Amino acid sequence: MKTTRILSMFMLLVIFSWSSAGIAFESLWDLDDLFSDDVIVEHSQAVQYDVDRELHAKRIGVTGQIGTFTAYSRSEDTDSIYNAITSDVTCEVRLPDGYRGLLSLELNYYPSGVDLVSMVKVGDDVVPITTTTHADITINEFFLDAHWNRQVYLRTGKQVLKWGRGYFWNPTDMINVEKNDFAALDKTRAGTFGARVHVPFGMTRNLYFFAGLDGIERLAETSLAAKYEFLVGNTEMSISAWNKQNLNPVYGFDISGRVSSVDLRGEVGVSQGYNRTTMDVDTYEFLRSTQWTSRVSLGASKSFDHANISDRISVSTELYYNQDGYEENVFSKLSELDLTDQAQSATYMRYMTEVYEPYQNSKYYLAYFTSVQRFPHPNMTLSVNGITNLVDKSTTFSTGLSYKPSLSDMSVSLSANTYFGRENTEATFHGNRFSISLATRIVF
């Protein structure tokens, strides 16, 4: 009884409060008013207004990183220390209706200086010239994005393109100037100057065109590339073609998909003749192949759960085949050159500057990449990577340990590289034995 009286008084108080506020009691329980379209429409219009305002707002953002790098290297005869302060800065401007501009700069300072070697023609000879620099600035990317009715997308300027499925090797990629660097897999690459057109057809097909304008002086020197990307079930495929004046067209095909829990990828580039200069190991003559040749990369990746942590361990491997590559140890032949002789020294320097590409020139290579998250500490990641020249049987082995505190934009990395193989092989040619490096980085 007492409880009922209290509830009755509470209800009377609520009714009196509504009435004193000028609100009719009956109207509060009018279902037509309570669920009227006006309330929903007004809310929808308010949300739409906020979304439109965000989409049409101008935005300017600056991100990047600053780091220090110190490395100690040991070779057969000597040791050396390398120091650098590095930074990447990216400025992005977003304009209404999806237009965008981006500038990415890399700034490096070398306290002890670094030597740069370039080849200069003197009379009939090509001789190396060494200069020392203490700082450099590189524009990695500098482009503008635009579109036509959100059906055709255009990017003009210096840009890095994702052309191919390979993790380390990309036989179809004739566009990007800078290749992947095994010693710095997370390094930001410098782009190439040109114009890219992207035409999407729904969610399953894409068409790309690219006109390369780097280093050209006449319109006829423009390189042209096209790629058609499509989805068949859960498998992604693409066919591509690239061409440039005085060079051989390159035709490509790549594919990626998943079988069970393993991600598989493959990529092949075919051309009538190799587009880089090669050296005959018997005569030391520099020439270009005119025969049909192919380059192939095949890869597989898988992640494993461990200790109740999803995808804690990641393993990836990749095999590379270069049909036009060396089937014998080219570095053993280079070691026979007398570098005190001007002509033989020029031959050596020409090979290193015009022919040699790290982990590309021999016929067979194998690379493997492994990472373990939260090991041996919850804020640490262990990485173990390796790359093997299967022709001269030499290996570069890299182990790294990075520490990143929770909710922090700072990280510290310690890595060690070791080089295995007989004397005068790709991994040991410069007398390398091991190197240790320490890097710190803050992200903003």
Per-residue pLDDT band for 35 (boundaries 50, 70, 90) equals very low
Amino acid sitting at position 347: T
What gap in Å lies between CA 161 and CA 140, rounded to an integer? 12
Say whether 153 sits in a helix, a strand or coil.
strand
Peptide bond just before 376 cis, omega within 30 deg: yes
Question: Among 106, 220, 232, which residue's Cα sits nearest to residue 158?
Answer: 106
Whether 28 has a pLDDT exceeding 70, the answer reads no
Going by their DSSP bridges, the two strands 380-389 and 394-403 should be labelled as antiparallel
Per-residue pLDDT band for 47 (boundaries 50, 70, 90) equals low
Q: Please give the distance of CA 369 from its chain centroid, rounded to a whole number.
A: 15
What gap in Å lies between CA 26 and CA 5, rounded to an integer? 23
Read off the pLDDT of residues 289-314 as tens digits, 9 standing for 90 and up: 889 999 999 999 999 999 999 999 99
What gap in Å lies between CA 366 and CA 298, rounded to an integer? 10
Read off the pLDDT of residues 221-239 as tens digits, 9 standing for 90 and up: 999 999 999 999 999 999 9
Indicate the average pLDDT of the chain.
Answer: 87
Report CA-CA distances (Å) from 308 to 255, 312, 416: 32, 9, 29
Whether 2 has a pLDDT exceeding 50, the answer reads no
Mean pLDDT of the 432-441 span: 94
Q: CB-hemisphere CA count at 13 Å for 208?
A: 20
What gap in Å lies between CA 11 and CA 3, rounded to an integer? 12
Read off the pLDDT of residues 350-404 as tens digits, 9 standing for 90 and up: 899 889 999 999 999 999 999 999 999 999 999 999 999 999 999 999 999 999 9
Which DSSP state fits 355? I
The model's pTM is 0.82
Read off the pLDDT of residues 311-336 as tens digits, 9 standing for 90 and up: 999 999 999 999 999 999 999 999 99
Say whether 220 sits in a helix, a strand or coil.
helix
What gap in Å lies between CA 150 and CA 97, rounded to an integer? 9
Let me know the angle formed at the C-alpha of 70 by 64 and 76, rounded to the nearest 5 degrees: 140
Question: Among 138, 156, 139, which residue's Cα sits nearest to residue 147?
Answer: 156
Which DSSP state fits 327? S
- Cβ(409)–Cβ(444) below 8 Å: yes
| pLDDT recorded at residue 419 | 96
- Cβ(383)–Cβ(371) below 8 Å: yes
Read off the pLDDT of residues 100-110 as tens digits, 9 standing for 90 and up: 999 999 999 99
Whether 19 has a pLDDT exceeding 50, the answer reads no
Going by their DSSP bridges, the two strands 262-272 and 309-322 should be labelled as unpaired
What gap in Å lies between CA 434 and CA 74, rounded to an integer? 6
What gap in Å lies between CA 13 and CA 29, rounded to an integer? 18
Per-residue pLDDT band for 349 (boundaries 50, 70, 90) equals confident
Residue with tokens 């782009």: 191
Whether 54 has a pLDDT exceeding 90, the answer reads no
